[in-house]
Structure 1
């Protein structure tokens, strides 16, 4: 087993490190992480406008008037409904740092590039035409275009600056003024290139780059990437990487998070409109029904350490890990037991989230538990409470069942390691322990 694990680590380790170090995946990850607090708060405000409590809407209308819901929907509109802009800001800033160029200029020109490619709508007012940018273009539907536009704009800017194509001013000019003039030539290249792209798409049946991206890339990629087989594959890769000490969620998240957030936004829009929820696999599905207690669904292992352990080592670890585990933080278990490079615990660490993924998908697909409503509750929200917020009382009840499943799957492996630790604390060798169990 040790030789097999060592060989697997030798093959997967370099690949995982390259993915983790890729500047584009890192920039995507940074973009979403930077916007995450805004997305969480925005979706929570929408939840307050749609609390599934009988009589809640009538009570609020009697107190605040018929337009009471706008108090909650406006924060949603200026966060979730324009999420692409926030992701572009974080992504372009991160990519600018990787290219060692001015991050403020990169953010501004990335936004300009995206806005050039964004469709402009018009309407007639006072016998004239007025133009506007629909808010929907900045929601999840514009996410992939925004990320691609930001990457292209920053790379154009980095290329031009490295070629030293800039307007050079005397050294006496203040540095902040010189920086502004440094961005003129890269900005000209960005505007011209993006305008050419806009005109080229305008000559096709798609008419806009956003329509092309959404129909040809985003929609098929989302449907494939958020299917049950794809989700299972992601969980396998994630847990195998974590088993070798590599942060699997961070590595995989750069690829999958845009897809999960896109389906999350679709569910949230449907939830707001009172329609059927279209997606099962969303960011909430991943963070609240798969990662119960953290990566590997380790909440059951933490409970076993706290209440069942006989060895002092596991008892102490249970007291230290139960608090973080309630908030889905399990590094004390991953590195304290350890799970990393432990042939015994690696098995349930991979199996548990797979079981939770498949069963959660089944109960939601069959209507036993409602799909997640798109409300982006913080990933640190404790189980049961998070289930209630995103899937009602049935979601909370299902999380209780999941905690039981996690405990049952981890138990035989936990018992084996706990007995080993107890034997060592008593001064016995592992051979003595095994011989006693046989007799």
Structure 2
């Protein structure tokens, strides 16, 4: 046991701590978090427009305008994911460098439009038969389809921005000028070079090679390979292993790993949501919501452990902890268990903490791949939504709720023997303490 603790402390924790402090990963994470409230709001209206009850669906089918009006908030929230994330990433990265975050966010957003191709639409004809055209951006690039490009542009532009500001290559106005005006002029030179950089990259991509656009370059060279790895069964299990391993050392595994997986999985969530909106079969098993399906009670799928404490604890400490943990656990908050039991740095309980999610991921993936359980439909419920109801909303099917019940039972069965050993040890300690008194 001591060797395991020593390995975690000496090998895992230093690396994980450095990753957790990496400013670019933190900016990606926090920038994406900025879009989450709007994604959840959009998901609510997507549910209203596609609620899986046949009579309700028939009612909306007879009133297509009503269904379309229900999707207005969805299009104004969920489908602006990339624009919000670009601003948020630029803002958070600049904030970490202690330069003007609002200006950096605005420059990043502007640069994204500079790097995004637009198309020409024929909207009619003149009386002489000449086409009437209109040039516009493709709104698809504001959705998850543009997220990878947006992330990279935000990081690059903010780095250019802060380098120029930190080298003091800015326009300075007299002290009597209002601060807001002075800041806007400070952003002029760094903003100019950041936008020029993206403009030059776009011209090079469009005129050299066959990619055609920055978006195509990223899709072919980065997004597709990363998506393939991050959504395979093996890749997903490795991701969940890393999350629980980091939590075992006391580091927020979901936050650290999510900085990398979040952009990939959110993109797939949005693709499933689009398919669901159009009435087409959803394609992706692994989306951002696989966290919610598997991690019932919090990371490590600890709700089964909390139930074991609540129902079968012998020691007073575990009985009390079970009563205190059940409320938060129902809403997927498990810090009382992680640090109160504790699971963190506890070799006995780390074993089920790691293996329960891995087995749950395997069951979830295979059940969806074989068609036993419906795939996620792109709905993003709040992460604090209680299990079972959460499974139903994520999949739009009772099979999702049943899957979570199965995982909950599995969690209980895996944790139980380890819990009994720990509880027995605590009961002995309490008995020994009582005898001493």
Q: Is the 1:82–1:136 Cα contact (8 Å) retained in structure 2?
A: no
CA distance in 2, matches of 1:315, 1:427: 18
Please identify, of 24-33 and 161-170, the stretch whose mean Cα deviation from structure 2 is larger: 161-170
Structure 2 distance, partners of 1:93, 1:312, is: 48
Q: Distance in 1 between matches of 2:255 and 2:64?
A: 44
Question: 1:9 is matched with which residue?
Answer: 9
2:33 equivalent in structure 1: 33
Q: Give the Å deviation of 1:225.
A: 1.2
State which of 76, 79, 104 in structure 2 corresponds to 1:78: 76
State whether structure 2 residue 241 is matched by structure 1 residue 236. Answer: yes
When structure 1 is superposed on structure 2, of 215-224 and 17-26 the one drifting more is 215-224
Match of 1:375 in 2: 379
Partner of 1:307: 311
Aligned alpha-carbon RMSD (Å): 1.5
TM score, norm. by length of structure 2: 0.95
2-structure distance, mates of 1:172, 1:31: 34
Could you tell me whether the CA contact under 8 Å between 1:122 and 1:132 is conserved in 2? yes
- Correspondence for 2:128: none
Cα displacement (A) at 1:61: 6.2
Return the match for 2:275 from 260, 270, 273.
270
Q: Distance in 2 between matches of 1:73 and 1:248?
A: 35
Gaps of 5+ in 2: 126-130
Q: Which residue, out of 253, 257, 260, partners 2:262?
A: 257
- After TM superposition, the structure 1 stretch with the greater mean CA deviation from structure 2, 123-132 or 236-245, is 123-132
SS in 1 for 2:432: coil
The answer to whether the 8 Å contact 1:113/1:149 transfers is yes
Match of 1:246 in 2: 251
**C-alpha displacement at 1:371, in angstroms?**
0.9
8 Å contact 2:157–2:195 — kept in the other structure? no
Verify the 8 A CA contact 2:294 2:404 in the aligned structure 1: no
Q: Deviations over 1:354-373 (max 9, x none)?
A: 11011111111100001111
Q: Counterpart in 2 of 1:24?
A: 24
Kept after mapping to 1: 8 A contact 2:112/2:153: yes
Matched residue SS, 1:69 = helix
Please state how far the C-alpha of 1:313 moved relative to its aligned partner: 0.9
Q: What secondary structure does 2:343 align onto?
A: coil
Partner in structure 1 of residue 156 of structure 2: 152
2:276 match: secondary structure: helix
Question: 365, 376, 397: which one pairs with 1:361?
Answer: 365
Question: Of 191, 198, 214, which aligns to 1:209?
Answer: 214
Which runs of at least 4 in structure 1 moved beyond 3 Å after TM superposition? Answer: 58-62, 125-128
List alignment gaps of at least 5 residues for structure 1. 430-439
Shift of 1:276: 1.7
Q: Report Cα offsets for 1:211-245 as digits up to 9, x if no partner.
A: 11122211221111111111111111111111111
**2:337 maps to what in 1?**
333
Q: Distance in 2 between matches of 1:258 and 1:368?
A: 28
Q: 3-state DSSP class of the match of 2:246?
A: helix
For residues 357 and 409 of structure 2, the distance between their equivalents in structure 1, rounded to whole angstroms, comes to: 13
Aligned 8 A contact 1:61 1:67 in 2: no
Instruction: Give 1:306 deviation, angstroms.
Output: 0.8
1:182-228: CA deviations, max 9, x gaps?
11111221222111111001113111101111222112211111111
Between the aligned partners of 1:175 and 1:388, the Cα distance in structure 2 is 52
Question: What is the CA deviation profile of residues 299-326 of structure 1, one whole-angstrom value per residue up to 9, with x for unaligned ones?
Answer: 1000011111111111111110001111
2:51 pairs with 1:51: yes
- Establish whether residue 130 from structure 1 lines up as the match of residue 128 from structure 2: no
Query: Deviation of residue 424 (structure 1)?
Result: 1.9
CA-to-aligned-CA distance 1:401-432 (integer Å, 9 cap, x gap):
11100000000001111111122222279xxx
- Displacement after TM superposition at 1:60 (Å): 4.5
- In 2, distance between residues paired with 1:53 and 1:348? 38
Q: Distance in 1 between matches of 2:260 and 2:61?
A: 43
- For residues 3 and 229 of structure 2, what CA distance do their matches in structure 1 show? 35
Q: SS of the residue aligned with 1:426?
A: helix
- Provide, for residues 128-148 of structure 1, a one-character-per-residue CA deviation record: whole Å limited to 9, x for no partner: 431111110111110000000
Post-superposition Cα deviations, 1:77-128, rounded to whole Å, max 9, x if no partner, equal 1111120011112111110111111111111100011110111111134544
2:143 counterpart residue number: 139
CA distance in 2 between counterparts of 1:244 and 1:9 reads 7
Helix, strand or coil at the partner of 1:67 = helix
How does the TM-score come out when normalised to structure 1?
0.94
Q: Displacement, 1:296? A: 0.4
Distance 1:72 1:26 in 2: 35
1:112 corresponds to which of 110, 113, 126: 110
Residue 323 of structure 1 corresponds to 327
Question: Which residue matches 2:64?
Answer: 66
The 8 Å contact of residues 8 and 249 in structure 2, kept in 1 or not, is answered as no
